[in-house]
Each structure stands twice: as C-alpha cells, then as structure tokens.
Amino acid sequence: MKSVFLLIFCLFSIITFSQDNFKLYYEETENGFKILADNDEYSPVSAQMDFRLENLKSSNGNNKVFVVPARTKKHTITDLNVIDRSKRVKLGYESVYNHGNNYLKEYDADFEYYLPFEKGTTFWLSQGYNGATSHQNENALDFKMPVGTKIYATREGLVVQVEESFDKSCTDVDCAKFNNFILIYHSDGTFAEYTHIKKNGGEVKVGDQVKKGQFIGYSGDVGWATGPHLHFIVFFQRLKNRVTLKTKFLTDQGKKAIILTEKEQYTRGY
C-alpha cells in the first residue's frame, strides 16, 4: 500500500538565460519525490538547484549544478526521500539554468577554424582579442564587412539558437539585448556565436547539423554595434557567464592555422 504524507507547500523560483526548451518538475514516489528534467535543447543544459526542504533529504546533494544531457526526457536530478512519515514535509526550490556543461574545462585548443567568410574574399579584423573598444578581457573578434555579406560556419556543429528578429542598432551597451545571432554547439563542448546578423538573416534553423565552411547567414549592423561587422566568439558557457577562448584560423590558402591579429586583413583562399 502506498504511504501518504502531507505536503505543506511547493515554491518554485526559476531563472533562465538563453534557452527555452528546458523544464524542471517533480513527481511523487513511494518514498517522497523525484526531481526530473526534460531537456529538448540540442546541447547539454546546466541547472543549479537550491532546495528548501523540511523532513526531506536529497539523495544527490543540494545547492549544486547538475548537467542534463541534450535531447533527454525524465532525467533524474535527485530523489527527495521522506525522513519521518509521521511529520509534515515541505518542498521548495530555486533554480538557475543555462546552455552547456558548467564544469567543462578541456577543449580542442588546436582545432583549425575556417575564416567566417566566402572563399576568395578578404576582410579587415577591426578588433581582436582583448580589443580596446569593446573586447576588454574578452577573446572576441570583429570582422568589418558590409551588411548582407555571406557568413560561413568556422567549424561543424549543431545549431542551438537563432535570433534574427531585431533591426535596432546603437552604440550603447544597452542595445546588446537587440543583438541578432546564430549559436552553434561544437563536439568538444564549446559554442560559437556569430553576432549582429541582419534581420531575418539566418539561413539555418535550430537543430540543423552544419558543416565546416557551410553558408549560414548574412552579416548586419544590429544590436550593440558601431557599424556593420561580424562579431565572432568561441566560449565555454557557464551558468551565469562565459569563458571566452582564443582560436586558430586557417588563412590564405589554408596551409597554416594562426591566432589572428587586430588591424590586419585576412583572405580566405581555400
């Protein structure tokens, strides 16, 4: 026979960042409750759970970050077991979650990235890693290019997010919320973001598997921008911030991969 216990309240406070297709919930069990997650995203999702428990014990710890694999249903976060069935129980939690594996530290630092533009074209790197204009303490790159320039995937991966609805542009940091972008997840757990694409400028959709060198969209001048350019960044996604990474690019005829230098022109001849 199933035991009965009194649940006094459930309080849920959830903060999400960049993903929409993720759900935390609970189911009642013989011994208490099971906390579960459905992750419909095309990358892992990290979720921090801070439980508020009375007469319940978590089998997998409390106030820690759990990593939920991509495209999974009913992934067990933890079991909450009743300590004394003669007493009331209280269950509540606060949670924060975001794309990626919060614990990941190793990646393919020697991967040879393609330049993000068309074969036979040359573009100016207007701002490099840790650039003085807006890249302080950030490993990001700005390629100066006219609106409508074709953008190509620097590396193969899965498209996890496409934002292309905005057309507003200004030089104030507050305009970053209007950035259009394509976000791609790589096999080593890193992400690449192609930012400031034009309105309706994405040529891929969420869930697409893209190849290295594949046409993915058009550059623009949208969001926080001082002029038309492509902002490119590779990073580890942490729960509340990013760890940006330097990457090596094949230039000219593609015989050697290098770290790009600010205020230089680069040609993709391959």
pLDDT at 103: 96
Record the pTM: 0.91
Distance of CA 244 to the CA centre of its chain: 12
Predicted confidence (pLDDT) per residue in 49-91, tens digit: 999 999 999 999 999 999 999 999 999 999 999 999 999 999 8
Predicted confidence (pLDDT) per residue in 189-226, tens digit: 999 999 999 999 999 999 999 999 999 999 999 998 88
Evaluate if residue 252 carries a pLDDT over 90. yes
Average pLDDT over residues 130-149: 86
Residue closest to 207 by CA, chosen among 45, 68, 23, 70:
70
Residue closest to 99 by CA, chosen among 31, 161, 30:
161
CA-CA distance, 41 to 48, in Å (whole number)?
17
pLDDT at 1: 36
